[in-house]
Amino acid sequence: MHTESADPADLVRPLLRVRQVREFTDEPVDRAALDALADAGRWSGSSKNNQPWRFVVITDRGTIRRLADGGMPFTRALQTATAAIAITIPEQPGRKISHAYDEGRAAERILVAASFLGLGAGIAWLSGDGRAAAGAILGLPEDRFVRTIVAIGHPTEAARRPKSDRGEARLPREETVFAERWPTS
Amino acid sequence: MHTESADPADLVRPLLRVRQVREFTDEPVDRAALDALADAGRWSGSSKNNQPWRFVVITDRGTIRRLADGGMPFTRALQTATAAIAITIPEQPGRKISHAYDEGRAAERILVAASFLGLGAGIAWLSGDGRAAAGAILGLPEDRFVRTIVAIGHPTEAARRPKSDRGEARLPREETVFAERWPTS
């Protein structure tokens, strides 16, 4: 897949282009694309390969809108999404940190995969009441909850454009990447 | 980047091929590759784009071995790594879950980027004493800690081979991906 002469910066550029999308057109997402996104999620790494997540792939727009209603404003991406993947996690008080970490890994894989497919995706983050409402809507058992729902769809033209000015979307490299040890000031 | 006729399964396949690597050859990692990996990390998404992580890129093998010693067996990948990226996170008791999630996202991006570069990478996970020891080795300030160190290098031939039999590395799709809502049994 890679050649010795390829510039590493070029090879990782598709990853740097992944961005959160929160506004989608009405065009539905193909079933094959949703299967590929779910596969990207379930092939994520996890602590001791324990695979804590179970994914619910949702295409019913009524369900997606009800999920959006329960968690505004952090579920805004679900208002126009034509598909969604809920990442459900077991309720295990001793594993909260590990599960949040694995959940983040799976969410990131799905965002990256969506970008590779030319789709847009954005994380809807549920807290408190939104989480309980979503659990009821999806029929989750008591030992499982949902906090991340990845909103998926075809991005609008506006959503395809960068939201920040050039150089503004992230802190500069010299403030975030250090060599060998923490810098002494 | 994508064509309408491309099979989504083909487009995401490079992601499914990403695996944890824990044994590396002596060949050093190019500086340009390390820069690209650090960029992949710092371009990760984060909650409200708050970018909590700061990355320390380490190539000194003495430092990498000392980091390995502090956290065995979960730091085994650092025993042979020729480079490493420590993901440091602020100590903020109210944001533990959000930070763990963002840390997982950044770690996953770096693993994916390493795979795209033909390199191997594996997560070394520090707990308790290992975390304190690593903080001291890296000279972290008191308000910041490190839990993830991504070990990086050129994988050995053995490490390139799948560690599981075909179909054994992940639970089957029908046990992890559900349509529209939780299945009734």
Among A12, A97, A108, select the one facing B39 at the smallest CB separation: A12
Q: Report yes or no on B74 lying in a domain.
A: yes
Residue that is written with structure tokens 């050129």 in the block = B154
Whole-number Å distance between alpha carbons of A11 and B33:
10
Provide the shortest C-alpha distance from residue B110 to chain A (in Å): 10
Range with top average pLDDT, A138-142, B125-129, B169-173: A138-142
Identify the closest residue of chain A to B13 by CA–CA distance: A40
Q: Report yes or no on A136 lying in a domain.
A: yes
What is the extent of the structural domain holding A87?
20-157
Q: Is the dihedral of CA A15, A17, A21, A25 positive or negative?
A: negative
Q: Report yes or no on A109 lying in a domain.
A: yes
| Predicted local distance difference test score (pLDDT) of residue A4 | 54
Q: Write the pLDDT tens digit of every residue in B107-162.
A: 999 999 999 999 999 999 998 889 999 999 999 999 999 999 999 999 999 888 87
Look up residue B163 and give its two tokens: 């560690």
Domain count across chain B: 1
* Residue A103 belongs to domain with CATH number: 3.40.109.10
pLDDT exceeds cutoff 90 at A94: yes
Q: Report yes or no on A2 lying in a domain.
A: no
Is pLDDT larger for residue A7 or for residue B72?
Answer: A7
pTM score of the predicted model: 0.94
Q: Is the dihedral of CA A73, A117, B175, B114 positive or negative?
A: negative
Q: Residues of B with CB below 8 A from A58's CB?
A: 180-181
CB atoms within 10 A of CB A82: 19
Provide the shortest C-alpha distance from residue A28 to chain B (in Å): 14
Identify the closest residue of chain B to A103 by CA–CA distance: B101
Q: Report yes or no on B172 lying in a domain.
A: no
Whole-number Å distance between alpha carbons of A106 and A109:
5
| Predicted local distance difference test score (pLDDT) of residue B76 | 94
Q: Residues of B with CB below 8 A from A95's CB?
A: none
Find out whether B70 and B145 touch, Cβ atoms under 8 Å: no
Look up residue B42 and give its two tokens: 């710092």
Q: Write the pLDDT tens digit of every residue in B38-58.
A: 999 999 999 989 999 999 999
pLDDT exceeds cutoff 80 at A185: no
Whole-number Å distance between alpha carbons of A147 and A126:
5
Residue that is written with structure tokens 């049994």 in the block = B185
User: Which residues are within 8 A (CB) of B185 and not within 5 positions of it... i.e. 6 or more apart?
Assistant: none
pLDDT confidence bin for B71, thresholds 50/70/90: confident
Tell me how far apart the terminal alpha carbons of chain A are, to the nearest angstrom: 42
Residue that is written with structure tokens 């990442």 in the block = A87
Find out whether A45 and A105 touch, Cβ atoms under 8 Å: yes
| Predicted local distance difference test score (pLDDT) of residue A19 | 87
Q: Report yes or no on B176 lying in a domain.
A: no
Task: Compute the C-alpha angle B167/B16/B41, nearest 5°.
Answer: 145
Among B38, B44, B101, select the one facing A101 at the smallest CB separation: B101
Chain A interface test: which of B35, B59, B166, B176 (most A C-beta within 10 Å): B176
Look up residue A33 and give its two tokens: 């694309």
* Interface pTM, i.e. ipTM: 0.94
CB atoms within 10 A of CB B69: 14
Look up residue A23 and give its two tokens: 């506004």
Q: Report yes or no on A82 lying in a domain.
A: yes
The average pLDDT across B69-88 equals: 94
Q: What is the DSSP letter of B20?
A: B
pLDDT exceeds cutoff 80 at B164: no
> What mean pLDDT is reported for chain B?
93
Look up residue A73 and give its two tokens: 């404003």
* DSSP run (H or E) holding B159: helix B157-160
The length of chain B in residues reads 185
DSSP three-state, residue B166: coil
Query: Beta partners for B155?
Result: B24
Amino acid of residue B17: R
Provide the shortest C-alpha distance from residue A80 to chain B (in Å): 17
Give the rounded percent of residues in chain B with a pLDDT score beyond 90.
Answer: 83
Query: Beta partners for A144?
Result: A90
Q: At how many degrees (to 10) do helices A31-42 and B8-16 cross?
A: 10
Provide the shortest C-alpha distance from residue A156 to chain B (in Å): 17
Measured CA distances, B109 to A7, A19, A131, B129 (Å)? 18, 13, 26, 27
Q: Report yes or no on B134 lying in a domain.
A: yes
Amino acid of residue B5: S
Give the rounded percent of residues in chain A with a pLDDT score beyond 70.
Answer: 97
B8 touches chain A (CB under 8 A): yes
The average pLDDT across B101-109 equals: 98
Q: Write the pLDDT tens digit of every residue in B7-43.
A: 999 999 999 999 899 999 999 999 999 999 999 999 9
Whole-number Å distance between alpha carbons of B180 and B184:
12
Cβ distance of A1 and B118 shorter than 8 Å: yes
Exposure of A169 in the CB half-sphere (CA atoms within 13 A)? 17
Q: Write the pLDDT tens digit of every residue in A34-62.
A: 999 999 999 999 998 999 999 999 999 99
Residue that is written with structure tokens 């008191």 in the block = B142
* DSSP run (H or E) holding A151: strand A144-153
Strand ranges (E), B42-117: 54-58, 83-90
Q: Which of A109-118, A126-135, B103-112 has the lowest mean pLDDT?
A: A126-135
Look up residue A179 and give its two tokens: 């060599």
| Predicted local distance difference test score (pLDDT) of residue B30 | 96
CA B58 to chain centre: 14
